[in-house]
Every structure is written in structure tokens, then in C-alpha cells.
A and B are shown apart, each in its own frame.
Chain A
Amino acid sequence: MAVVKLDSGYNIGIPPEACSFVRRSPPEPVKRPDMVQERDLPELSIVSTGGTIASRIDYRTGSVTSQSDAAAILGAIPELAKVGTFTTRSLYTILSENMTPGIWIELARAVYEEICRGVSGVIVTHGTDTMAYSAAALSFMIDTPVPIVFVGSQRSADRPSSDNAINAVCAAKVATGDLGEVVVVMHATTNDDFCSIHRGTRVRKMHSSRRDAFRSIGIPPLGSIQYPSLEVKLEAGALKRGHCTPALRDHLDDRCGLLTFYPGMPPDTIRVYDGYHGLVIAGTGLGHVSTLLIPELRKLIDSGTLVMMTTQCLRGRVCDRVYDTGRDLLDAGVIEGADMLPETALVKMMWVLGNESSRERAEALLQTNIKGECTGRSAHGL
């Protein structure tokens, strides 16, 4: 069907054969107000990758796609000008499900360059679906003395009720704050009242559509930022600005997989991962798969694949020493993934195998806390 816009603003669909070519309208340049930047405010860099924080209608599919660049974000959210001065870098305009480890590497490099340039903080605009993966990836790849803040929106930017503006303004404020790590800043509640600051290796999207979908898992959020006062409160555990010098370790081994176990899973499912360098399993409860799978896992491990167990409960710690199945898994060579989120564990596996060639050291690294992704003690309950 051809879409016709009537004078009233309504669209209707009519069969293409009912249309005839009249003329092609010249493209009308979209006018944007010039943003006045105050020089005394901290310099922030916006690296945009796409997602609903900057999306518009695509008449090809009739659905929303990421089309706006970072400049469009500034044009749409003038309140940002009160928080900092901005430079923008449009890296990608993709939906986050189309992200790849290769893109994480390019993103890490771009962000690292911005840090080296001396900006006070970096804001990464990102689709929310896989934001947590990218945040974890950058957490491992970059040692950062300044905030690297991931932000997005759950409700598209082209609606008056979008959470994009509040999230973006809060993210910008956090990027100017006394913080030195990779975080995600998104709505904390369904109200437009405050945003939470989540550690990049501990955050997960826990709802498909709500504004407050992002939650810290296993630890409390690192802090909060009120709207509209923009008052930032950081918890004691948050890493301070300047706690390290910038460093980039931008190798990832993308021959790693993530498998969610389910009752009745055929043992040959494991064979799909033949030739993989690493496999993270999201097992049941304390970290289990069915006994039938264990021989296949043993074969996989013996052939050189590192296998790490996490829990599909998301909350809590893997402990494969309680039941027989767990002990058999350990015996087969499976590594316990402590209280790591399965997705974070996958990204960590890619990073560890990308940077460490010794299997023993890689196993040790996987079980060592590097960027707050796992803890030795379970201080936080549900």
C-alpha cells in the first residue's frame, strides 16, 4: 500500500495502482535551534550508537528506526546545555540488537580517545536491549578515570512522554560527577522522579517496556540522581574520578557462546559449541544442567573449550559443591561463575580469552573480580 498524507495530517493507505507520479518534492531542510554552549561548564562527549533515545519513523517499514545523530539529541533536549558543553561523535545509528563484539571494540576505542582528549565524561547513547552487554564490554576493555555513562530510552524519543530527556539530562549530570567507572543511568521508577546509577557489569534490563526496566542485580545501585534538581548521590562503593589512569585493552574473542539450559535439553545441543573457545551456561538454581549433558560437556572441555557456569536465577551465587550434579560438573572441568550475571560472564569470557592465551591464567582471571562483576561475599539479598 502507498501511504498518503492528507491535508488534515492523517495518513491512509491506498493501492499503488491508484497513485500516479505528479512531482518529487524538494527535501525540506529540518531547522534546528542553535544551541548556545556555556564555556564554563564541564566538557562532555556524546558518542551515539542509535537506539530509541534518538529514533524517528522510517516510512520504508513504518516502524521506528534510529536515524538521528548526536546533534539531533542536543537539538531535542535543550536542558542538556545547562549541564555541560558537548561535543558529539556519531559512531553508529543501529538498533542495539544489531550490536556485535566488533562494534563493542570500535566503541571502546572511540570512548577511550575521548577520555584521552581530556573530556570530563563520556555519554554513550545506546539502544536498551543490549545496553547491558555493551556496558559490561566497555567496563572490561577500558580502565577509566572519568564516568562513562550509558543511556537510552524505553519509550521512543518521538513521543512527548518519552523518558529520553530525563535520562539524558541525568546521564549528563552523572558524567560530570565524582565517578570513575562505566555505568548505566536510566529511570529508577515509573515516575519522572529520579534515575538510578548502575554499575556496567551488574546491570540488567528486567522489563521489556517499562521506564524503570534497568536494575542492579546482586548489588544496590551505585547511586541516584534526582529530577529536576539533578542532585547526585553516590554510594560509598562507587569508584571515584581519577582513581586510575586511562588504559585500553581492546581484544575480544568472539568464539564464545551463552547457553540457557532447560529441562529435557538434548545432549547434542552441546555439540553446537564444538570449536568454541568459551561457553557460559546459564544453569538452573545453584548452577546445574541435567546429568545427561555432563559427558558432552566433558568432551567439550577436553577439546579445549573453557566452560563457566552461571545461574538463570540471575540473583545469587553458583555453588556446584552441594549436589551430585554440581560435583560432577566441577569434575568435568566446569568453572563456577560466582555471582556473575550470565551476560556479563559471556562478555568477560570474550575479554579474558581475547587478552590471555594461557588456559590456566584465563581460568584464574575468570574467577577473579576485575570490574565489580563478581563479589566474594553475598551482602545483598533479593
Chain B
Amino acid sequence: MDYKTAGLTAGIEIHQQLNTREKLFCRCPTTLREVSDHSGSFFRYLRATESEMGEIDRAAQEEMKHTRKFVYYTYDSTCLVENDEEPPAPLNPEALLICLSVGKIFGMTPVPQVHTMRKLVIDGSNTSGFQRTALVAMNGSLPGGGCIETICLEEEAAQRVKDEIFSLDRLGIPLIEITTAPCMHTPEEVQQVAEYIGMVLRSTGCVKRGIGTIRQDVNISIARGARVEIKGVQELELIAEVVRREVIRQKNLLSIGSELVKIGASVNSGDSRDVTILFSGTKSSVLKKANHIHALLLKGFAGIVGREIQAGRRLGSELSDYAKKCGVGGIFHTDELPAYGVTQEEVDAVRNAMEASPGDCVVLVAGSTEKQARCALSQVIARAGIALSGSPVPEETRKMIEGGSSAYMRPLPGAARMYPETDVVPVLIDIALWESIPLPELLKEKAARYAATYGIEPAYATQLVSSEKLPLFDRAIAEGIKPKLAAFTILSTVTELRRDGAEIGLVADCDYLGIWHAVEDGLAAKEAIPDLLRAAASGVCLDEALARLVPPVSVDKLHTIVREIIASRKDFVQQKGKAALGPLMGLVMAEVRGSVDGKIVSGILKKEIDAVLSRKVH
């Protein structure tokens, strides 16, 4: 696709959890917990409130279409602030400093005074009904000439356990939000910028690692389309695909729009009626449960509602997403019926009742109450109306679904969702502090330095600097461990052990260092490292592991072992000559169980084999 002609403009927002000791607005640890460990729960209702200007945000209003009860799980590591039962503590200075440091890397200007705001989010993911966020720095630049608009410091939302149940362990972990300008014009460029920003963030050494700790939101628009924000892209590799698919979706919506206009299609709220009675004997489980079924005639929409607009998504999926805001499970439409237990007879009866022509599509919405069915109906009318309007791509916040397609979440929020957080005192940014913040070495530069200084392969060095164990590596070097030994263990041994199912994540840094020191001091052989790590992973303390796995073997003892092995395989040695070294090496190493370095074993073994062979000659 020619993205230039399509007029693709994209920007990204990167949200990265910060690895601070405490949360952003309370003194709780930033530790994630197992849901099964929750110590209690409570429930609340949220309602949209007016902004300071007296408006209600359109995104918030959309979330409030039906009353929702939210349940929250508490832990012994959460407090009344997460429960929205206590005012927030002052903004965490450690988190602010990390944001300033990132801002400095991008050449940004800090705001003179940081004001914490409440961003209205009433999908239940925040007990308060808002996410606290503060603008920290503005106007930065990217190496390719792109522009970073802002850096904000935000609090992480609660994690959804399922449906309307949320877990409070994650709520309040500091997040840095980096927003670029809409300065990118190809899907690949968006992905590269995301990669670069991710690298910069990791360079600080102060961000959390692992799945879910970084999330990208992508803002995309094309010519005649509209700005759409796709939230929650967790895999970096999917970013370009998300952009590609959104461009396709917007193009398809534009062409559907023109087609509908050409056909003379129309959407009229008068073209709806209650058709519950027609489904009194239905076999459809969804319709059977519903107390109120309404039908809507979409004139000229036949074949279009069922048309694919993006992989796995149809125009009907969009109508359905809008209806779901009223608490219904979705919609049925005649482009896909008969199906889902709805028979051809029922379809005919509905089409008749709605006086549908062959070119028309009929949508069915089913609600447990009349109010819910009407709400869903009005949502479908609104979305179908947009499809044939002059702007057939609505401005939306969407969520990424599997593979890189997206589903509707809510309208794009406006400025009305921002309200000052009156419980947090603004923070002055001290210029002396700003100037004293050191710039961290970027991981890219660090990889080059490792390759040059330690003689580590460049590809290996790149892998090493992206590893979560980078701080461990730096510490090992500082303690005099050979760089190659530490690098090999971190990148190769650990990966193999993990593949074998060892709980390698449980090994503490001090155990790694202990093992390396044992090798460096000649107390254990390199070959014993996998066994020692495996023991550490299963909870055995290092001294015990060394005693058990690496019993001390004296040089005399080693000579005896070697001689015994050769003696028992005399014929083999004589037959193979010097080539017996390899096979015998394995036997000796198994016997000494990693207590002696392979090089020493191989030296002695070689000498003894030579001795045997020379005796044969004499």
C-alpha cells in the first residue's frame, strides 16, 4: 500500500511502569500479587461528574450508559489510598526524578510547576473514577527528526481480573507516558520509534520489565479519515501491523460511506419496532433469554453490514461494539442470518414485519429490560448513521484485539475529562535539580562499549544490554568476574535451564555472584554452573550446593581417578590412541562432578594417555 497517498499520519503514546520502591501517591510497594492472595474485596458504583467547566466528558458519558457495579480485590500490600478511602500522599519524588531524567535524554523542557490532574476514566479500572496524571516535560526530539510532545507521570490502573472485578495491586504503580507528535507516515516508522523510545526507557535502569509493564497506544489517521487511538498494544512487533490494519479499516469505512450514499441508504430511528413476539418460540439461546427484542431497518445496507472492514471485523462488529455499551452481549443482523439458532422462518418473519426490501438489512438487539434494548438500539442507529455520513470514520478510542485488529471502546475523550487533583499539592521543578540530573548511557552505546571493552560479540552485547540481568552483569564486572563468564551464564546457561523447566527466576543475584566467585577462585569448574544454578533455583543454599555438587578433589585424587578410568579402558585407549581423550574426558568430568576445571582435567588426562601409549611403544 502507498501510505503517502493514503495520507497516513501516526503518533504513539508509550506507557511504561517505573520500578520505584513505592507507588505514585501512596507508600505501598509496587509489587504485583497473585489474585488468589487477595485479602478482601469491596464494591462501588461510579458516576460521571462534571468537569470544572460544568461539562460531562463524552467518553465518560458513554461508559455510564448503564449502571455498573465494580468489585475490587485488596491485598496486605494495598492501603486505603487504593481503596479511595484516603487522600493521596504527595507525588512520589523518585518517580518524578525518573521522568525528568527521560525528559532530559530527549532534550525536553520541564514544566516550571507540575500540577497533578484527574483524568476521568469510569470503566472501573480506577476506584476513584479517575486516573491521576501530571504533565512533567514538553517538546523533545527524536533522532530521526520526530518530535516528542509531552512526558506525563501517571498512576497505573487496576488490573481487570474478569468482567467487572479488578485487582488493586497494580493500581497506583507509577507510569511514564511519552507522547510523540503525529510525525510518522509509515507503519514501520511507528514501530522503529516505539523501539527507540523503549530502548531509552530501559537505559535509565529504573523501569519495570516483563509482559504488561510497557504498553503502546497508537494514534492513526488517514486522509478524509479520523484520528483513532488504539490502546493496549503490548507486543512491539505488532505495532506496524496494527497501523496497517487501521489504515485498511479507515479506507474500507470511507468506501462503504461513498457506496451507501450512492445507493441512497438511510438510517431512521422510526424504522424500528418491538419484535419480541416473533421470537416467542425461538431456539436461539440469546434471544430466548431476552425479554425485549427490537428490530431496526437499515435501508440499503444489505450485504454491507456483513462486509469485512479489517481482518476478522465487519461493519456489523462496529455496530455491535456500540450496542455493547448498554450492557447487551451484541447484535444480530440479517447479513449473517439464519445462524446462531435463528431460523430462516424467523428471519423472513422479521423482514416482513419490518417491510424490508432485498437491499435492506435488519438488525436485532435483545435486552433484559426495555430500557436496555432501547439504549442498544439508539447506539446502533448512531453508529449506522455515522457510516453513511460525510465523515464515515468516527474519532474513537479502540482496543487492540488478537492479531492487530481493533474493537471500539469509547469516543475519543476531550479536554473536559481533565479536572485538577485538588488533594495533591503542585510540585516546583528546581532548576538546580534538573541541571544536576545525570544522563544515563543509552543501551545502544553501552552495547558498543561492551563489545569494544570486553571483547563480547556485538550481537551478544546487544542481547546482554536488553537483558533484565544487565544490572547483575555490571555488578559482576565491578566485582572482578570475567565478562565472558558472566555474559555466557546470563545469555546462554540461563536460557537453557529455563527451557529445561528450571525455575531460574527464583535465583537471587547474590547466588549468581557466589557461583561466579567460586569458579573464579578455582572452587568449582565452569561446567558445574548449570547444576549449581539448578540447585539454587530449587531453594538449596549456595554453600550446601557447592558441598553437594562440587566436592573438593585434590590433584592426587584427580590423578588416581584418571588412572583408574584409563586402566579400566586400556584396550579402548590403545585402539583409539590420542583420540581416546574426548570420550574419556566425559567420564572423568562425570566422576569429579564439576569440581575441577575441564582444562585441568584435559591436561592430566592427556598426560596419562600419552604415558599409556608410550609404554605400549616401549
Residues in B with CB closer than 8 Å to A379 are none
CB of A109 within 8 Å of the partner chain: no
Whether the Cβ atoms of B47 and A7 lie closer than 8 Å is no
Q: Would you call A57 and B419 a contact (CB within 8 A)? A: yes
- Find chain B residues with CB under 8 A from A190 CB: 42, 83, 85
Known: A57-B420, A156-B422, A161-B46. A14 touches B111 (CB 8 A): yes
Distance in angstroms between the alpha carbons of A28 and B51 in the assembled complex: 13
Given contacts A13-B111, A209-B86, contact A56 B52 (CB under 8 A): yes
Q: How far, in angstroms, from A76 to B86 measured CA to CA in the complex?
A: 23
Closest approach, in angstroms, between the C-beta of B331 and any C-beta of chain A?
28
In the assembly, what is the distance between CA of A57 and CA of B87, in Å?
Answer: 15
Distance in angstroms from A327 CB to nearest chain B CB is 44
Residue pair B49, A209 in contact (C-beta under 8 Å): no
Task: Answer whether residue A192 sits at the interface, using C-beta atoms and an 8 A cutoff.
Answer: yes
Given known A-B contacts A1-B426, A3-B115, A192-B43, A160 and B420 have beta carbons under 8 A apart: no
Residues of B within 8 A of A328 (CB): none
In the complex, the answer to whether A193 meets B43 with C-beta atoms within 8 Å is yes
Could you tell me the distance between the alpha carbons of A208 and B152 in the complex, rounded to whole angstroms? 31
Interface residues of B in 171-228 (CB under 8 A from A): none
B127 touches A161 (CB 8 A): yes
Determine the distance from Cα of A9 to Cα of B416 in the docked complex, in whole angstroms: 7
A233 in contact (CB, < 8 A)? no
Q: Is B128 an interface residue (CB 8 A)?
A: yes
**Most A Cβ at <10 Å: residue of B52, B130, B420:** B420
The answer, yes or no, to whether B45 is at the interface (CB within 8 Å) is: yes
B618 to chain A minimum Cβ distance, whole angstroms, is 91
Query: Does A8 belong to the interface (CB within 8 Å)?
Result: yes
Is the beta-carbon distance between A62 and B426 smaller than 8 angstroms? yes
Q: What 1/0 mask marks residues of chain B from 278 to 321 whose CB sits below 8 Å from any chain A CB?
A: 00000000000000000000000000000000000000000000
Select B418's contact among A10, A14, A160, beta carbons within 8 Å: A10
A156-B416 Cα distance, complex, nearest whole Å: 18
- Report B30-47 CB contacts with A as 1/0, cut-off 8 Å: 000000000000111111
Interface size class of B (residues with CB under 8 A): 35 or more
Q: Is B84 an interface residue (CB 8 A)?
A: yes
Known contacts being A160-B48, A209-B86, A209-B87, is A10 close to B130, with CB within 8 Å? no
The interface on chain A, measured as residues whose beta carbon lies within 8 A of the other chain's beta carbons, has a size of 44
- Chain A residue at minimal CB-CB distance from B136: A12
Interfacial chain A residues near B580, Cβ < 8 Å: none
**A191-B114 in contact given A13-B426, A161-B84 (Cβ < 8 Å):** no
Q: How far is the CA of A209 from the CA of B87 in the complex (A)?
A: 7
Complex Cα gap A377–B111 (Å): 64
> Would you call A345 an interface residue if the criterion is a C-beta within 8 Å of the partner chain's C-beta atoms?
no
Residues of chain B with a CB closer than 8 A to A272's CB: none
| Nearest CB of B to A3, in Å | 7
Contacts of B130 in A (CB 8 A): 159-160
Say which one of B117-125, B161-169, B376-384 lies at the interface with A. B117-125
**Min distance, Cβ A217 to any Cβ of chain B, angstroms:** 21
Q: Are B42 and A8 closer than 8 Å at their CB atoms?
A: no
Q: Using A31-B54, A161-B46, A191-B44 as known contacts, say yes or no to A14 and B422 having CB atoms under 8 A apart.
A: no
Docked CA distance A28–B50 (Å): 14
CA distance A8 to B45 in the complex (A): 28
Check: A249 CB closer than 8 A to any chain B CB: no
Whether B84 lies near A155 (C-beta < 8 A) is: yes
Please give, as numbers and ranges, the residues of chain B lying within 8 Å of A300 by CB-CB distance: none
Residues on A with C-beta less than 8 A from B128 are 155, 159-161
Bound complex: CA A8 to CA B413 (Å): 10
Please report the C-alpha to C-alpha distance between residue A13 and residue B111 in the assembled complex, in whole angstroms: 7
* B414 contact set on A, CB distance < 8 A: 9
Q: Are A210 and B85 in contact (CB under 8 A)?
A: yes
C-alpha spacing A353/B425, complex, angstroms: 44
User: Is the CB of A183 closer than 8 A to any CB of chain B?
Assistant: no
B112 in contact with A1 (CB, 8 Å): yes
Contacts of B411 in A (CB 8 A): none
A14: nearest chain-B partner, CB-CB: B112
Encoded as 1 (CB less than 8 Å from any A CB) or 0, chain B from 90 to 134 comes to 000000000000000000000111110111101000011110011
Instruction: Give the shortest distance, in Å, between A361 (CB) and chain B (any CB).
Output: 46
A210 CA to B415 CA, complexed, in Å: 30
On whether A6 and B49 interact (CB within 8 A), knowing A192-B43, A193-B43, the answer reads no
Chain A nearest CB, measured from B585 CB (Å): 67
The docked-state distance in angstroms from the alpha carbon of A228 to that of B50 is 22
Once bound together, how far apart are the Cα atoms of A28 and B130, in whole Å? 25
Name which residue of chain B comes closest to A28, CB basis: B53
Rounded to whole angstroms, the CA-CA distance of A32 and B54 in the bound complex is 8
Task: Verify A191–B115 contact, CB threshold 8 A.
Answer: no
Query: Least Cβ distance of B318 to chain A in Å?
Result: 27
Given A6-B135, A190-B42, verify A158-B419 contact (CB < 8 Å). yes
Residue of B at shortest CB range from A79?
Answer: B47
Interface status of B325 (Cβ within 8 A of chain A) = no
Known: A165-B47, A190-B83. A57 touches B52 (CB 8 A): yes
By the criterion CB–CB under 8 Å, are A191 and B120 in contact? no
Whether, in the assembled complex, B80 has its beta carbon less than 8 Å from a beta carbon of chain A, the answer is yes
Q: Are A8 and B418 in contact (CB under 8 A)?
A: yes
What is the CB-to-nearest-CB distance from A28 to chain B, in angstroms, rounded to a whole number? Answer: 7
**Residues in B neighbouring A1, C-beta threshold 8 A:** 112-113, 426, 428
- Our pick among B54, B112, B129, B415 for the contact of A30 (Cβ within 8 Å) is B54
Chain B residues near A10 (CB-CB < 8 A): 115, 117, 133-135, 150, 152, 418
B488 to A: closest C-beta gap in Å = 48
- Minimum CB–CB distance for A65 against chain B, Å: 9
**Nearest CB in chain B: distance from A373 CB, A:** 29
User: Is B417 on the interface with A (CB-CB < 8 A)?
Assistant: yes
Known: A13-B115, A160-B120. A209 touches B80 (CB 8 A): yes
- Most-contacted residue by chain B among A6, A7, A12 (CB, 10 A): A12
Q: How far is A31 from B119 in the complex, measured between Cα atoms in Å?
A: 22
Nearest CB on A from B182, distance (A): 14
CB-CB under 8 A for A12 and B422, given A160-B47, A191-B43:
no
Check if A376 is an interface residue, CB within 8 A of chain B.
no
Q: Which of A6, A15, A156, A191 contacts B42 (CB 8 A)?
A: A191
A64 interfacial contact with B, CB 8 Å:
yes
Across the interface, which residues of A come within 8 angstroms of B152, CB to CB?
Answer: 10
Residue of B nearest to A212 (CB): B85
Among residues of A, the one whose C-beta sits closest to the C-beta of B121 is A160
> Which residues of B lie under 8 Å from residue A193 when comparing CB positions?
43
* Residues of chain B contacted by A76 (CB below 8 angstroms): 49-50
Determine the distance from Cα of A189 to Cα of B478 in the docked complex, in whole angstroms.
Answer: 55
Chain A, residue nearest B52 (CB): A57
Interface positions, chain A 331-371, Cβ under 8 Å from B, are none
Residues of B within 8 A of A30 (CB): 50, 53-54
The reply to whether A13 and B418 contact each other, CB–CB distance below 8 Å, is no
In the bound complex, residues from chain A placing their C-beta under 8 Å from that of B84 are 155, 159, 161
Give bound CA distance, A161 to B52, whole Å: 16
Check if A374 is an interface residue, CB within 8 A of chain B: no
Residues of B within 8 A of A211 (CB): 85
- Per-position binary interface string of chain A over residues 150-167, scored 1 when its CB falls under 8 Å from any chain B CB and 0 otherwise: 000001111111100110
Q: What CA separation (Å) do A9 and B428 show in the bound complex?
A: 19
Interface flag for A20 (CB, 8 Å): no
| Inter-chain contact A62/B54, CB cutoff 8 Å | no
The 3 closest A-B pairs by CB, nearest first: A160-B129, A13-B113, A9-B418
- B residues sitting closer than 8 Å to A (CB atoms) are 42-50, 52-54, 60, 67, 69, 80, 83-87, 111-115, 117-120, 122, 127-130, 133-135, 150, 152, 414-420, 422-423, 425-426, 428
20 A/B residue pairs, CB under 8 Å, sorted by A: A9-B414, A10-B117, A11-B115, A11-B117, A12-B135, A30-B53, A57-B52, A76-B50, A155-B84, A155-B85, A158-B49, A159-B49, A160-B49, A160-B122, A160-B128, A160-B129, A160-B130, A161-B44, A190-B83, A191-B43
Beyond the given A155-B85, A160-B47, could you list 19 further A-B residue pairs with CB under 8 A, ordered by the A residue number? A1-B428, A3-B115, A5-B415, A8-B150, A8-B418, A9-B415, A10-B135, A13-B426, A62-B422, A76-B49, A76-B50, A155-B84, A156-B422, A158-B422, A159-B129, A160-B130, A190-B42, A192-B43, A192-B45
